[in-house]
Structure formats: structure tokens, C-alpha cells
Structure 1
């Protein structure tokens, strides 16, 4: 299959590109920069120059392909809601090209959008009031396409999609701890984060592309729920600083915009995903990766 991948040079997207190529697919990756284009060429992917802010380039890239994996997202949190609406528009533009075909589209979302009562599952819809959650825009856009018969499905990533080169939540927590001189958690720290290694996530995207169902949701979850306190404990040990509890009020000052994510309790299951797609995580878990991986190297 010839696959168009957005976010193809990103942390997750670059792993997806390699996974697809290793399994016999042809890949065209969206690239904004010369550096990105070179990275794609180096691994054997084709390059399509464009941007999520240029919908004509998105439509043209989609038209070239037999399937699409969409992982690109602007992570500038100073304009988070705007970026979420941009993603809605990108997905809608893809749908314009895919309408009337059987070509699959895999859209990226996150398990943290869901209520975990007692555990978030694939067939859980967005909770009431999701119109107040900006990131819900991506799922809403994909669901709208599926309702039209377009072969759109969703991969929900764990809050910590980890591995070498991670620049997400865990590195941010490490930076905050280093700046503050203490590693913190909220309350008793028993709130749970799911985790998945980026290579396991990449394999899931490939399987969803190859045999996913219209409108399906798949969970990229290996660790169903890691206590946040355990993450903070490893950070404190590796940095040689105290590990402390913060009240919600103190957490707002300590974590800044990350306070909500630091306090979220999001145990999530991937049981249905594993059964439906014959997907089995095989790589190192979150705590072992933070403890023994490259998160503290060169710093």
C-alpha cells in the first residue's frame, strides 16, 4: 500500500514510517522543511512538501496515496484550542479527497479525553461536555467522516508515548523537577497514566491501516495505568532531589499548564484493540524506560 503520513518526521510519525517500510509498504511523508525532507529520504520514504496550514498540499498528498495516517499536530500550547480546530479542518480536507473511496484514514487522538470509570475502553465515546475539551475536535471530525461512509478510524495514544527521543510529558516533568529542585505529584499520587512505547504504537497504526474497521477506536496502551507518584519517584532518584506531594493549589504553581495532566487519572484498556487487530505490545514499559532509558542522558 502507498501510504501518506503526516507528522512523518515526528516522534511517533517517524516510527510509523519505519514500521510501514519494514512491512512492505511505500511511504510518502509530509515535510515542511529541508531537514525533514532529508530525514525522510534517508530512511527510504518519498517526500511531499507541504504543511497542515496548507490544505491544498494536504489534499494533494492524500490524493497520491492508497491510505493515510495522520499524526501531525501543532503542539504550541499557547494556542491550543486554535490548533485543535486546525486539526479538525485538516481531517475534513482529507475526507473531501477520500469520499467515495475505500481508502483508510487513521486519525490520532488520546485516551486522556475519556472518563475512566473504572477503566477507559475503546468503545467509550467522548464524555458529556466534550465540547469544552478542545482536543475532542479530532475525534469529532473523524466520526463525522465515518458517518459519511469514509473509512476513517482513530488511534488513541496513551498520555505517555515513550522511548528514545521523547519530547512529551515525561521530559517536561524532568525539566520542571530540575528547575524546581524537587519532583512532585498531586495529592497521594495514585492517579494513573497509561503508557505505550512508540514502536508498539507504530505497529498499532500499521495494523489499524491494514485491517481497521470504519469508525473504530483503537487504544495504543501497553501499561494500563502507572501511578504518577511512581514516575515522580524515579525522576527524584535520578536527579537526586526530594519527591514531594502537592495540593491541587500548589500543583497549579509547580506544574503550570501541565497541572491538569499531572493530576489526571486515566487507566485505560487495550483489550479490544489487541483482540481485533492481533496487536501485542512487546517493548519496554514506561517505568523501566524512564529508569533505564535515555531520558537523563546528556543533561
Structure 2
């Protein structure tokens, strides 16, 4: 198949695009610069120069493809509109990447017992209202004779397969631990995130391209951990004795930025990938988060 992927030099999009190219598909990927173009060529991906603001470039690349994978931004409505307009009437698949912070609340490191699957109603935080509205807009495009599908990953970990190698949260924790000489979490660190290995997530994209029905929404997770548990694993691989320390929210915002501190590092996002397992036969097999930190790629 011919597949166009935005975010082709990034962590998710790069991993998906490189895997699809390795599987024999003809993959084109949106990149911003000549340097990024060289990066994706190394993985068998033909670069398309442009940005998410270039509607004509996006539309042209989408019309030339059999499948579009949008993995550059969960929130860029202009790009979504351009891609869906180009695919209208074609019956082609549009695989969009969201993120499970849509169910998160600003918990300041405290635990929440709320757990969501694809059938659970969501009342998003103010920071995620627009993303949830965009998701509804995308899924409604099945009325336009195309095949919109949303994949909604939780915390992703592991080394990427393509030009983008690093995830977000775990490297943030490791880098801060190295800076301070001890791992640190926001608040008490009791907040919990579901998580998924990049290898398993990529396989979900492959399945979604092959057989997901129009209008499908899939959470992606294979377990969950508190931020304190992740920090304890970071301390073990770095050889730091004692428990992780607690940052005030002001300290966390100074380290990571307010949005990342409040909506990612100190929030809860507990989801269950019920539909992907039942409908697509998705069976995650990679190491769990703390095992990957302590025994896998993060030890290097």
C-alpha cells in the first residue's frame, strides 16, 4: 500500500512509518527540514517537505496515498480538516493519534481511582476540551465515505524504531534524577498512568490500518504504574539509594513547564484497551514499564 504519515521523524510517527516501510509498504512522510528528510530516508521513507499548516501539501500527499496516518499532533485541527477533505469520498483510512490525557485531571500527584475504557463517558479537563472535540469531529467523518480511526495511547516507553528514538515521560524522569542525584516526582507521586511499549503500540497501528472499522476509537495500554514506582525504578538503574523525593508543583513546573507538570507528570490517566483486544486481536507482548526501565533500553 501507499501510506502517507505525518510526524514521520517523530517518536510515534517515525516508529510507525519505519515499520510500515520495513514491511514492504510505500511510505511517504511529512518533514520540516532537509536534515529530517535525510533522517527518514535512512528508514526507507520518501520525505514530503512541509508543515501541518501547509494544507495543499497535506491534501496532495493524502490523495496520492491509500492510507493516511496522522501522528504529528493530537490537536492541530487545520491539518485534520485538510487531510479529511482530501480523503472524502475515497473510502480510504485516516488513522489519527490522540492521547489518553483526555481522561486526565490535574491531581497534583494524588491518586485517582477513575478508570476509563472506550465506552466510559469523558468529561475532559479544560486543557483537553479542544482535543476531545477534535476526536468527535474526526470520528464523524465516517459519514463522508472515508475510514476515520483514532488510536489513543497512554504513557509510551521504549526506544523508537525510526528517526525519533525517545519517549517523553521516562527520559524526563531520568534526566531530572541525574541533575538532582535522586529521582523526583510531582507531589506525592501517587498519581497513576496506564502505559504501553512502543513496540506494542506500533503493532496496534498495523492492525488498525488492516482491519479497524470506520469510526473506531482505541485506547492503547498494557498495564499501569504510579509515578513513584517509575521513579523508584529510575533510582535503581542509576544506583541512587533511598526513596525518590517529592517536588512541589511550583518546582515541577519550573523543571517541566506548567502544562507538562500539571497535565502529564502529576495527573492520572488510567485507561483499559478493551476494544483493541476484543475487536482487533491486539495482544501486547513487550516488557512492562518498570521492567523496561530496570532491565531494558533505559539502562544504556
State the TM bucket, normalised to the shorter chain: 0.7 to 0.9
1:108 paired residue among 87, 97, 119? 97
Aligned-pair distance for 1:196? 1.2
> Which SS does the other structure have where 2:150 is aligned?
strand
- Describe the shift of the 1:58–1:238 C-alpha distance in structure 2 as closer, same or farther (beyond 3 A): same
Instruction: Report the Cα distance in structure 2 between the residues aligned to 1:101 and 1:55, rounded to whole angstroms.
Output: 18
> RMSD between aligned alpha carbons?
2.6
Partners of 1:95 and 1:145 within 8 A in 2: yes
Aligned-pair distance for 1:244? 2.0
Aligned-pair distance for 1:19? 2.4
Aligned residues: 285
The unaligned stretches of length 5 or more in structure 1 are: 74-82
> Higher mean Cα deviation, 38-47 or 194-203?
38-47
Which aligned pairs between 1:221-240 and structure 2 lie closer than 5 A?
Answer: 221-223=221-223, 225-240=224-239
- Describe the shift of the 1:158–1:60 C-alpha distance in structure 2 as closer, same or farther (beyond 3 A): same
- Describe the shift of the 1:94–1:137 C-alpha distance in structure 2 as closer, same or farther (beyond 3 A): same
Which residue does the alignment assign to 1:156?
Answer: 152
Which residue does the alignment assign to 1:268?
Answer: 271
TM-score (norm 2): 0.84
Which aligned pairs between 1:31-180 and structure 2 lie closer than 5 A?
Answer: 31-73=31-73, 84=75, 87-114=76-103, 118-127=114-123, 133-136=129-132, 138-163=134-159, 165-180=165-180
The unaligned stretches of length 5 or more in structure 2 are: 105-111
Is 2:246 the partner of 1:245? yes
Instruction: Report the Cα distance in structure 1 between the residues aligned to 2:283 and 2:275, rounded to whole angstroms.
Output: 11
Which residue does the alignment assign to 1:25?
Answer: 25
Aligned-pair distance for 1:156? 0.3
Which residue does the alignment assign to 2:295?
Answer: 292
Provide, for residues 174-223 of structure 1, a one-character-per-residue CA deviation record: whole Å limited to 9, x for no partner. 22233334322345433211111112111111111111111111122122
Instruction: Report the Cα distance in structure 1 between the residues aligned to 2:126 and 2:136, rounded to whole angstroms.
Output: 10
Partners of 1:107 and 1:138 within 8 A in 2: no
Instruction: Report the Cα distance in structure 2 between the residues aligned to 1:253 and 1:34, rounded to whole angstroms.
Output: 33
> Higher mean Cα deviation, 31-40 or 149-158?
31-40
> Higher mean Cα deviation, 97-106 or 283-292?
283-292
TM-score (norm 1): 0.84
Partners of 1:163 and 1:293 within 8 A in 2: no
* 4+ residue segments displaced more than 6 Å: none
Provide, for residues 77-114 of structure 1, a one-character-per-residue CA deviation record: whole Å limited to 9, x for no partner. xxxxxx93xx1110011011111121010001011212
Is 2:283 the partner of 1:280? yes
Which residue does the alignment assign to 2:261?
Answer: 259
Partners of 1:91 and 1:141 within 8 A in 2: no
Partners of 2:52 and 2:78 within 8 A in 1: no
Which aligned pairs between 1:175-254 and structure 2 lie closer than 5 A?
Answer: 175-223=175-223, 225-241=224-240, 242=242, 243-246=244-247, 248=249, 251-252=252-253
- Describe the shift of the 1:134–1:291 C-alpha distance in structure 2 as closer, same or farther (beyond 3 A): farther
Partners of 2:157 and 2:167 within 8 A in 1: no
> Which SS does the other structure have where 2:298 is aligned?
coil
Instruction: Report the Cα distance in structure 1 between the residues aligned to 2:186 and 2:216, rounded to whole angstroms.
Output: 34
Partners of 2:195 and 2:221 within 8 A in 1: yes
